[in-house]
Amino acid sequence: MQKAALGCGVILLLVILLTVFTAIGIYNGLVGSLQGVDAQWAQVQNVYQRRADLIPNLVQTVKGAADFEKSTLTEITEARASVGQVKIDANQAPGDPAQLEQFQKAQAQLGGALSHLLVVVERYPDLKANSNFRDLQAQLEGTENRISVERGKFNEAVQNYDTRIRRFPAVLMASMMGFQPKPYFAATAGADTPPKVNFDFGGKSAH
């Protein structure tokens, strides 16, 4: 009788230990996935900030052109300011879809204002000879491409994380452990394509 009880106790202990180690493994895996999302979000923020940092230099460069349209400069300056009003932690990916949507709309507005500015700039061919302007061309092209790449990587990281918290047996514990789904960047019209930065005055207009 005592041996049977002892055997049941050992089995119960093994089950408890197995459950504990399984829970630890699931938790550590979810933590790793969440950290991957946050790390990629920081990269997204970095490239968007890089674009924002380039805009004042662009504005100063084109402002020197005679009779340059002030309304266009105001548009891009205000759009840049509106991006700064969207408060999101630079190192922690947003969990609220509405918050990410607000951030995305502000960035899209800035991208549209930037594209409009570059279209207007084509009416001022003297700017093409400006070395600062040429440098900005290369930097903006690279930045817009990086934005597209990093957004894609962010969505991949979110997909991996969201899939993990929905898989069995993690789905049984994820919510209790505080792991909630993260939103994606929406593939709205034009949002997945970086604005075309085109300073070729002899070619087609930028879009």
Is 197 within a domain?
A: no
Is residue 39 a contact partner of residue 145, using CB atoms and an 8 Å limit? no
Is 33 within a domain?
A: yes
Q: How far apart are CA 154 and CA 122, in angstroms?
A: 34
pLDDT values of the chain reduced to their tens digit, one per residue, 207 residues: 666 777 777 788 888 888 778 788 888 999 999 999 999 999 999 999 999 999 888 888 888 766 777 888 889 889 999 998 888 888 889 999 999 999 999 999 998 888 888 788 777 777 766 778 778 877 888 898 999 999 999 999 999 999 999 988 888 888 888 899 999 998 654 444 444 444 343 343 333
Count the domains in the chain. 1
Is 195 within a domain?
A: no
State how far the alpha carbon of 46 is from the alpha carbons of 16, 30, 146, 171, in Å: 45, 24, 10, 32
Domain harbouring 10, CATH code: 1.20.1440.20
Is 115 within a domain?
A: yes
Residue 24 is part of which domain span?
Answer: 2-172
